[in-house]
Amino acid sequence: MFTDRLTNVQTAVQAALDAHVAQYPAGQLRDAMHYALQGGKRLRAFLVLEGAAIFDIPTEKAMPAACAVEALHAYSLVHDDMPCMDNDDLRRGMPTVHVQWDEATAALAGDALQTMAFELLTSPALGTAETRIRLVADLAQASGAEGMVYGQALDIAAETAPTPLTIEQIIELQEGKTGALIGFAAKAGAVLAEKDPAPFAAYAKALGLAFQIADDILDIEGNEDLTGKRLHKDAEAGKATFVSLLGLAGAKTRATELCDLAIAALAPYAQGADSLRDLARFTIARKH
Amino acid sequence: MFTDRLTNVQTAVQAALDAHVAQYPAGQLRDAMHYALQGGKRLRAFLVLEGAAIFDIPTEKAMPAACAVEALHAYSLVHDDMPCMDNDDLRRGMPTVHVQWDEATAALAGDALQTMAFELLTSPALGTAETRIRLVADLAQASGAEGMVYGQALDIAAETAPTPLTIEQIIELQEGKTGALIGFAAKAGAVLAEKDPAPFAAYAKALGLAFQIADDILDIEGNEDLTGKRLHKDAEAGKATFVSLLGLAGAKTRATELCDLAIAALAPYAQGADSLRDLARFTIARKH
């Protein structure tokens, strides 16, 4: 069942991340990295591991890539929560890193978590050097100045823009900010198997947008106890979101259409991809 | 002549970095990355390219690794200059990134420069996938939670420590903060040539310490117009430095001894390593 599989992934990924961090020299930096890696839905790790399972690649072989994408995601959250960025004090139900320690520790822990992500992709468990360098290149493209960080920069710029963003601009922003890393995660299994990642790219493109629309809906309808983060921030800041542009009902319809699109992209993989189909349904139905 | 070679490296590395950054989507993020990559002595790039030249590896083949180490170094400076870290307003004679733009832009530009460093190491020009993944692993180890960022965290912690650091603690701090990346750069040529990097590791260990001692001396005796950064900060902050612990004369003697040690480590490479020997002499004689 999907939720059991997700729980299993969460447990296994947490153990692997904790074990990796434990190798670093003890101190506040390591403590903050460990702290920033606790909890989370692990949807990106789930994408990596279930995508790999479609090609019969065992969990232990794909695990360093699953951990890499979670470390990369964690770094982005730590920096994004800092006062100079989104200034959030709550994340995954806990004080954010700069609240728990200080801003310097948050800056450094985020920096070192990004490094850790690339370090994990050098793990021999992932396969040949060709496969690993391909993953490094893919992660860099997904997360840097043409991927996630580009989307974050557009998001920051939007806060001071004279007019709210259009739907096309929001889609470009989100394809960078959240879509690119989801795309990396969804394709990683096929890359590990040396198969064509194109169907997974199409799946991820629809899934990523559906995920963001669901996030915008949760920001309106959600419960802070369940989401573990501050809500209603976008509306208070007067930011354009999928909900402000499409309306609540329109946003829900769009999310459902994108979920169907994501599922359709997996047609080549029959039952092997059922958990990725379940993930698409979960993404738009989740309460956190 | 050494200064001609260094000038040639500076020109070639700047052109390669600018060309790489120009590939990213236009906007403030790219502008800030480009800005942060201007100037600098390029000693780390020089180490890569001259190390490669010892093994007859041409500049164009080693260039992506030289650019990677400079991008990594630039990211560390952008983040280190931020108000939550060292709070510097001047770097390489120009306003720092958060002064020129804002803190969010500095955080994101630094993040994307780190990503760019790893991206550059995936360049096919560098050789086989085995060689490139080795460089990725080496850079991650040198720059993350057991390398540069670890040293930066020790440095931040020292600011609020109840007692000044001992010489052993300062050496540990500097071996992380500046030594590890210098070590990566010095070894990269041998890695590219698939030769033993051990002599270069020994050279870099002495060079990195000599470099830091020279920096501490410059912080006392230097000229802000020549160094392009604020000086006298360590003494004002009451931080222990090699000068405060060894005295000015003692620090100069130690730097000279380390320069000799660095040169001795290059004994296996005869005249081919002369520019690295010159670099060691330059490191302790420089005025900037």
Q: Is B122 helix (H, G, I), strand (E, B) or coil?
A: coil
Residue A7 C-alpha from the chain's centroid: 17
Residue in A closest to B123 by C-alpha: A137
Question: What confidence category does residue A219 fall into, taking pLDDT thresholds of 50, 70 and 90?
Answer: confident
What angle is formed at CA B149 by the lines to CA B102 and CA B174, rounded to 5 degrees? 115
Chain-chain contact of B85 with A104 (C-beta, under 8 angstroms) = yes
Domain A2-285 has CATH 1.10.600.10: yes
Question: Nearest-CA neighbor of A171 among A144, A151, A147, A200?
Answer: A151
A18 contact partners, CB below 8 Å, separation of at least 6: A34, A37
Q: How many CB pairs under 8 A join A and B?
A: 162
Which chain B residues contact residue A107 at CB under 8 A? 79, 82, 84-85, 107
Joined together, the tokens standing for residue A260 give: 């169907």
Does pLDDT of A104 surpass 90?
A: yes
pLDDT at A223: 75
Chain-chain contact of A152 with B85 (C-beta, under 8 angstroms) = no
Spans of all domains in chain A: 2-285
Chain-chain contact of A119 with B153 (C-beta, under 8 angstroms) = no
Cβ atoms of A189 and A52 within 8 Å: the answer is yes
Q: What is the DSSP string of A19-71?
A: HHHTTSPPSHHHHHHHHHTS----HHHHHHHHHHHHTT--HHHHHHHHHHHHH
Q: What rounded mean pLDDT belongs to chain A?
A: 94
Angstrom distance (rounded) from CA A59 to CA A13: 10
Tell which phi-psi region holds residue A47, choosing left (phi > 0), alpha (psi between -120 and 50) or beta.
alpha
pLDDT at B100: 97
Chain-chain contact of A154 with B33 (C-beta, under 8 angstroms) = no
The amino acid occupying position A255 is A
Position with higher pLDDT, A66 vs A224: A66
User: Mean pLDDT in each 10-residue stretch from start to end of chain B (288 residues)?
Assistant: 94 98 98 97 97 97 98 98 94 94 98 98 98 98 98 92 90 95 98 97 96 90 75 74 92 95 95 94 83
Q: Which of A21, A73, A81, A115 to mutate to test the interface with B (most CBs of B within 10 A)?
A: A115
pLDDT at A270: 86
Query: What average pLDDT score do residues A154-167 get?
Result: 90
Joined together, the tokens standing for residue B129 give: 């996938």
Angstrom distance (rounded) from CA B235 to CA B233: 6
Residue in B closest to A103 by C-alpha: B84
CB-nearest to A27 from B30, B143, B153 is B153
Cβ atoms of B170 and B242 within 8 Å: the answer is yes
pLDDT at B93: 87
pLDDT at A228: 75
Which chain B residues contact residue A118 at CB under 8 A? 118, 136, 139-140
Q: Which of B73, B136, B155 to mutate to test the interface with A (most CBs of A within 10 A)?
A: B136
Which chain A residues contact residue B102 at CB under 8 A? 84
Cβ atoms of B156 and A29 within 8 Å: the answer is no
pLDDT at B175: 95
Q: What is the ipTM of this complex?
A: 0.95
Chain-chain contact of B140 with A146 (C-beta, under 8 angstroms) = no
Distances in whole angstroms, Cα of residue A5 to Cα of each of A50, A275, B271 = 9, 8, 62
A2-38 residue pLDDT tens:
999 999 999 999 999 999 999 999 999 999 999 999 9
Chain-chain contact of A153 with B28 (C-beta, under 8 angstroms) = yes
